[in-house]
Structure 1
Amino acid sequence: MPELPEVETVVRDLRPLLAGRTVVGVRHSAKKLRRPWRPAWNARVTGATVAGVRRRGKWILVDLLDAKRNPPVADAPGSPVLRVHLGMTGQFTVVPAATPEPDHLHLAFALDNGTDLLLRDPRRFGSAEWFASRAALEDEMNAELGPEPFGLDAAAFRDAVTGTARNLKAVLLDQTIVAGVGNIYADEALFRSKLHPARTGKSLAADECDRLRLAVEAVLTKAIASRGSTIRDYVGGSGLRGGFQNEFAVYGRTGEPCPTCTGAIACERLAGRSSHFCASCQKSSPQSKTKKATKARTV
């Protein structure tokens, strides 16, 4: 499933290709996505000009200028927005209009420069929705999503993590705590911070919380620089693949040597997902307790 680095890469690819372009037509498939596209939205989107493309969590947001407003205003609370989620296998790309239509195509937005913005999704877990009001959309999303993982408030993150008895894998996958992190980058961040995914949030000391917060940001930043991870279907908005899969320390590497200690990477089911870690580098018990036990044995 595309996570924050993949979605951010799509957004960055699409931004120069869509900015200032006007939608001149919409085609949609009869096959429904997870959240069905409403045919009535075709007329709403046709004639609208793209004001910008941005990301919130794992969502792609295309800000539109309503052609019916005089004059159109960019970024106004009442401006319409197209919200897209890539699901597990979605691709959102711009191609020349003459390009043969791909299979599993669900939406095609014809643009005024002879290109098409295509949304295809073989497994149909993705979605595309039109919102009349940017303010209404953001009210809904802010109620469901926590802060972005860049520049997180240290105290607020500590409180969120240590205030739960859930394991750290579940904590990182909780979009209300930090938006955009998924299975791949949770594993990689936990390895970088030397924290076992089965540790509970409330077991972490303040310095461990800080280490985790910084690791999440560092891993995501590095993944974005590599255009995300292509495991199966993911491509950026320009159709190019990601490269961070070549840099995984633990994810998907069960039985392979740890890049730090050469011990075998383990895999355990946590929070309903496969979790990859190094049992040697990522201790399963709090560091403070380990120190106390060691001291007791030497007395």
Structure 2
Amino acid sequence: MPELPEVETVVRDLRPRLVGRRLVSVHWGPKPLRRSWPAVAVQRLRGSRVESIQRRGKWILVFCDQGQALRIHLGMTGQLTVVPRSEPPFDHIHWWAELDNGWQWRLRDVRRFGSVEWFAQREEALAELEQKLGPEPLALPAGYLPRIVGRSHRCLKAVLLDQRIVAGIGNIYADEALFRAGLHPARRAVSLSAQEWEQLRRAIRDVLRQAVQARGSTIRDYIGGSGLQGKYQERLMVYGRRGGPCSRCKTPIAHLRLAGRTSHFCPACQK
């Protein structure tokens, strides 16, 4: 599933291609996505202009004139691109919009876990997210994590995957941040010292910043809004490297199941 760096890359790619453009028409493929639209939505969007695009957690928010908004989630395999109308469509295109410059904005989603929702008022699209998402990990204030989960007996991996605590982190970057902080993914939150919490906060920030600079990680399906792949997968230290040598100590990378996900870690470097 695309995580914060991948979604941020898509947003940055889409802005120069979509902002200021008008949606001439909106179309759905024969197989519906998870969320349906009211009948009035297609009519209301026709001719509307894209004013801004932003990210919140793993969600993409597209704000149009007349207060309208689109809220998009890429699910497991979603790809949002803007291409010339003359470019032959790939398979699994489930939603697209015709733009006023002759280009198309397309959502390709092989597994169809993604969604495109329409809101008559942008405040509605934002309010629901703010109710269920924690703060952005790139701007976590010092002391936030121990204040919120410092007494919790949940494991650190579960804490980082909980979008109500921190928005945007998934399996890849949880593993990478914990490795950088030297913390075992099964460690209980209540056991961390103030210094370890600060190490984790900085590790989260640094890993995500570097991943954004590298346009995210292309493990399987992910591409940015320009059609280019990410490059951070070339720099992953533990994720997907089960059995390979730790880059620091050469101990084989181990794995275990936590919070319903496979966690990768170095049993020597992470305590």
Partner Cα distance (1:161, 1:217) in 2: 18
Partner Cα distance (1:243, 1:160) in 2: 33
Partner Cα distance (2:236, 2:144) in 1: 29
Correspondences of 1:31-180 after superposition (within 5 Å): 31-66=31-66, 79-180=67-168
Q: Is 1:225 aligned to residue 213 of structure 2?
A: yes
Partner Cα distance (2:102, 2:139) in 1: 40
Query: When the two structures are superposed, what TM-score results if normalisation uses the length of structure 2?
Result: 0.98
Asked if structure 2 preserves the Cα contact closer than 8 Å seen for 1:35 and 1:127, the reply is yes
Query: When the two structures are superposed, what TM-score results if normalisation uses the length of structure 1?
Result: 0.89
Residue 41 of structure 1 and its aligned partner are, at CA, apart by 1.8
Q: Is 1:248 aligned to residue 236 of structure 2?
A: yes
Partner Cα distance (2:2, 2:262) in 1: 16
Q: Which runs of 5+ in 1 are unaligned?
A: 67-78, 284-299
In structure 2, what is the equivalent of residue 30 of structure 1?
A: 30
Asked if structure 2 preserves the Cα contact closer than 8 Å seen for 1:161 and 1:209, the reply is no
Secondary structure, counterpart of 2:138 in structure 1? coil
> For this pair of structures, how many residues does the alignment match?
271
* Equivalent residue letter for 1:84: I
Q: Which runs of 5+ in 2 are unaligned?
A: none
Partner Cα distance (1:14, 1:97) in 2: 16
> After superposition, what is the alpha-carbon deviation per residue over 1:28-59, rounded to whole angstroms, capped at 9, x for unaligned?
11312122344532112111100011100000
Partner Cα distance (1:39, 1:274) in 2: 41
In structure 1, what is the equivalent of residue 201 of structure 2?
A: 213
RMSD over aligned CA atoms reads 1.0
Asked if structure 2 preserves the Cα contact closer than 8 Å seen for 1:37 and 1:127, the reply is no
Secondary structure, counterpart of 2:143 in structure 1? helix
Identity across matched positions, percent: 58
In structure 2, what is the equivalent of residue 292 of structure 1?
A: none
Q: Is 1:199 aligned to residue 160 of structure 2?
A: no
Secondary structure, counterpart of 1:154 in structure 2? coil
Partner Cα distance (1:178, 1:21) in 2: 33
Residue 160 of structure 1 and its aligned partner are, at CA, apart by 1.7
Partner Cα distance (1:277, 1:39) in 2: 49
* Equivalent residue letter for 1:272: G
Secondary structure, counterpart of 2:44 in structure 1? helix
Partner Cα distance (1:201, 1:132) in 2: 41
> After superposition, what is the alpha-carbon deviation per residue over 1:45-85, rounded to whole angstroms, capped at 9, x for unaligned?
1111000111000001111012xxxxxxxxxxxx1111110
Asked if structure 2 preserves the Cα contact closer than 8 Å seen for 1:254 and 1:264, the reply is yes
Partner Cα distance (1:44, 1:267) in 2: 50
Partner Cα distance (2:201, 2:82) in 1: 35
Secondary structure, counterpart of 2:139 in structure 1? coil
Instruction: Specify which of 257, 264, 271 is matched with residue 269 of structure 1.
Output: 257
Asked if structure 2 preserves the Cα contact closer than 8 Å seen for 1:14 and 1:238, the reply is yes
Partner Cα distance (1:282, 1:234) in 2: 29
Q: Is 1:182 aligned to residue 145 of structure 2?
A: no
Secondary structure, counterpart of 1:117 in structure 2? strand
Asked if structure 2 preserves the Cα contact closer than 8 Å seen for 1:2 and 1:58, the reply is yes
Please identify runs of 4+ aligned residues in structure 1 that moved more than 4 A. none
- The structure with the largest alpha-carbon Rg is 1
Secondary structure, counterpart of 2:185 in structure 1? coil
